[in-house]
Amino acid sequence: MPQLIIKGLEQDKVKQISKPLVDELQQIIGCPRDYFTLEVVSSIFIMDGEERQITPFVQVNWFDRGQAVQDQVAAAICRHLQQAGCPQVETFFVVLEENRYYENQNHY
Amino acid sequence: MPQLIIKGLEQDKVKQISKPLVDELQQIIGCPRDYFTLEVVSSIFIMDGEERQITPFVQVNWFDRGQAVQDQVAAAICRHLQQAGCPQVETFFVVLEENRYYENQNHY
Amino acid sequence: MPQLIIKGLEQDKVKQISKPLVDELQQIIGCPRDYFTLEVVSSIFIMDGEERQITPFVQVNWFDRGQAVQDQVAAAICRHLQQAGCPQVETFFVVLEENRYYENQNHY
């Protein structure tokens, strides 16, 4: 954690932004870089009977770090995706609870 | 948003229901149709050592719109999937929070 | 439900653990075995510009059953994955709400 779950963005673009994005998130959040996972989801999106491209969106699963840090993380994600050629980006945060998150048999 | 994440249903069936389903959800919820995403997840399901078919289920990520609207959305999803040949359907809602959902750098 | 969403673990290993794991979870939770789904997610994970293996992790979507039962479920998942050759495992629980979970048109 944090887990970034990325939909609607090609694998190559995720590869391209992965290093600078995690470099920056690591600074903002203050956690080791190997805590991060960047997941490229291979789902298909459908509208009106046809497969279609969607506005890329990023779900971040993490422990709550407050609105200010969250704002900075969203801004960093947005900037890096825009630099990779996505004019529009949606990012949302899902808060996980520490007593529900286990490393092996022990929760946080 | 709303994001409909569909598991256990073939892509062709999702294509078939996508237009009439969104037509109806748009009426119930009162939001533009391009807010909707229908995601067909390509996961594999396992039970007792073998791949198997599951009862289709639909996760809806959205902002809370109250129990009455939610009931109508679940009923519409159920009806359209049943018309597409699924006798049994499970639908569940995950509430996203507005101050955690960003369009570009700004949250709702 | 419970839904086990498994990332970073090969399909064959999930097949291998699926029966004994559900046997045990069924005892701990006290619900029929056909309530369980084990989903193998086929996402790709990226770090520093390259695809990479991740520490396997399991998301459990379920109704809250209290900390003690949850601890036992996490321990069982951890043990079975370790027996399948994963030294490190992360498991986290996402609580679904009964009035937001529908079988066909009726919520719990």
**CB within 8 Å: C47 and A22:** yes
Say what the ipTM of the complex is: 0.96
Mean pLDDT confidence for A21-34: 96
Nearest CA in chain B to A51: B15
Find, among C62, C58, C61, C63, the residue nearest to C75 by Cα: C58
User: What is the pLDDT of chain B when averaged over all its residues?
Assistant: 97
Q: Is A71 on the interface with B (CB under 8 A)?
A: yes
Find, among A8, A84, A87, the residue nearest to A47 by Cα: A8
pLDDT band at B36, cuts 50/70/90?
very high
Q: What is the pTM of this model?
A: 0.97
Q: How far is it, in rounded angstroms, from Cα A98 to Cα A8?
A: 29
Give me the pLDDT at residue B11, please. Answer: 97
Q: What is the longest distance spanned by two Cα atoms in chain B?
A: 46
Q: How far is it, in rounded angstroms, from Cα B47 to Cα C38?
A: 7
The answer on pLDDT for A1 being more than 90 is no
Nearest CB neighbour to A70, from listed B36, B39, B100? B100
Domains detected in chain A: 3-107 (3.30.429.10)
Q: Which residues contact C100 (CB under 8 A, 6 or more apart)?
A: B70, B92, B93, B94, B95, C107
Give me the pLDDT at residue B1, please. Answer: 85
